[in-house]
């Protein structure tokens, strides 16, 4: 899987990869849940290429990020990862009939050339043409005016296999440039609960539900006690994350892994150190009671 991801990266093939995380490594606890693949998905493959990581927090968000993932894959011609987990994948919840907004669905094939575009092509088609955005117009094989080889080796624009140093710099930079515009398509972190609360829980993916309920219970005891900052876009790291995190008085990251992968990512990307964390790696999903009990322990 990992080498195929890199192949999609260098060959600029749009692909959506869905990972419902379970505790590992290897077979681990194959029927249980965890959130320990974030940094793996961020780095899976040799070398570097742009990618997007989307981690829906609710069933509704899973629906919308699902189609969004296919659109951004085609817009940027690069792998897009949807990071779910066993808990979210197996979760049942009653939804109102209109909870999923099918009208909002859009289909964007990105810079995909049509037969009509190719009919009028006078020069040799360049699959990996150097462009300012890094995105090269994509033809589908089959048209007489666009005959080319999808390459896993480094290549020039045409593409021929090419090891020239300058060419490598140009092609690698072209691919990496796509990440600039991708930051506009990554969902920003969202708030739940009262502004300016004394405590901010920070979480990602499916931990949204239990964290939200923990926040509700804390606010029922003391108004304005807690709020929640939830990340469903993790790569490219959302540009608003820093401003939002700096609004919080006290931050506690709640996530399902041993080492604190979101916490690590936040520190790596914006140099922000959180105030505390609650982690779980016993294969069980978070529950509000679990979060509240840990908060109490930490205060004591």
List contacts with another protein (CB under 8 A). Answer: 3-4, 7, 11, 97, 100, 102, 105-107, 109, 140-144, 146-153, 160-161
Residue 191 and residue 199: Cα distance in Å, rounded? 12
CB neighbourhood size of 265 (10 A): 20
Q: Which two tokens stand for residue 127?
A: 């699959």
Nearest to 107 by CA among 67, 143, 80: 67
Q: CB of residue 145 vs another protein: minimum separation in angstroms?
A: 8
Query: Strand, coil or helix: what is 1?
Result: coil
Residue 72 and residue 52: Cα distance in Å, rounded? 8
Q: Kind of pairing, strands 251-255 and 276-279?
A: parallel
Q: CB of residue 95 vs another protein: minimum separation in angstroms?
A: 8
Nearest to 7 by CA among 190, 152, 125: 152
* 133 or 153: CB nearest another protein: 153
Residue 164: exposure state from Cβ atoms within 10 A (0-12, 13-18, ≥19): exposed
Q: CB of residue 80 vs another protein: minimum separation in angstroms?
A: 16
Q: CB of residue 198 vs another protein: minimum separation in angstroms?
A: 40
Cα 143 → chain centroid? 34
Q: Which residues contact 197 (CB under 8 A, 6 or more apart)?
A: 219, 224, 225, 226, 227, 249
Q: CB of residue 148 vs another protein: minimum separation in angstroms?
A: 7
Q: CB of residue 107 vs another protein: minimum separation in angstroms?
A: 5
Q: Look at the alpha carbons of 154, 160, 165, 166 in this order and tell me if their dihedral is positive or negative.
A: negative
Token pair 């037969």 is found at: 115
* 11 or 261: CB nearest another protein: 11
* 150 or 240: CB nearest another protein: 150
Q: CB of residue 278 vs another protein: minimum separation in angstroms?
A: 33
* 150 or 219: CB nearest another protein: 150
* 17 or 36: CB nearest another protein: 17
* 146 or 201: CB nearest another protein: 146
Query: Strand, coil or helix: what is 113?
Result: coil
CA 296 → CA 10, 65, 84, 207, distances in Å? Answer: 49, 35, 29, 19
Residue 118 and residue 126: Cα distance in Å, rounded? 12
Q: CB of residue 51 vs another protein: minimum separation in angstroms?
A: 18
* 145 or 240: CB nearest another protein: 145
* 147 or 169: CB nearest another protein: 147
């Amino acid at each position: 899987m990992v080498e195929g991801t890199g192949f999609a990266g260098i060959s600029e093939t749009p692909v959506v990869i869905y990972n419902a995380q379970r505790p590992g490594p290897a077979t681990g606890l194959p029927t249980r849940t965890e959130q320990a693949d974030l940094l793996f998905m961020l780095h899976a493959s040799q070398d570097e290429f742009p990618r997007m990581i989307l981690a829906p927090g609710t069933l509704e968000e899973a629906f919308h990020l699902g189609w969004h993932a296919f659109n951004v894959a085609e817009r940027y011609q690069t792998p897009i990862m949807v990071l779910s987990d066993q808990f979210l994948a197996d979760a049942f919840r009653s939804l109102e009939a209109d909870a999923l907004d099918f009208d909002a669905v859009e289909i964007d094939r990105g810079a995909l050339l049509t037969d009509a575009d190719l009919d009028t092509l006078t020069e040799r088609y360049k699959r990996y043409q150097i462009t300012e955005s890094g995105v090269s117009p994509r033809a589908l094989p089959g048209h007489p005016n666009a005959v080319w080889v999808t390459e896993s080796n480094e290549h020039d624009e045409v593409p021929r296999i090419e090891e020239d140093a300058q060419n490598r710099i140009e092609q690698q930079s072209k691919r990496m440039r796509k990440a600039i515009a991708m930051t506009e398509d990554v969902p920003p972190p969202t708030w739940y609960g009262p502004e300016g609360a004394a405590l901010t829980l920070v979480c990602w993916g499916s931990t949204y539900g239990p964290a939200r309920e923990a926040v509700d219970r804390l606010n029922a005891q003391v108004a304005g006690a807690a709020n929640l900052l939830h990340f469903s876009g993790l790569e490219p790291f959302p540009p608003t994350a820093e401003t939002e995190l700096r609004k919080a008085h006290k931050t506690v990251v709640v996530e399902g892994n041993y080492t604190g992968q979101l916490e690590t990512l936040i520190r790596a990307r914006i140099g922000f150190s959180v105030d505390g964390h609650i982690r779980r790696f016993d294969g069980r999903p978070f529950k509000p009671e679990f979060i509240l009990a840990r908060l109490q322990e930490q205060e004591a």
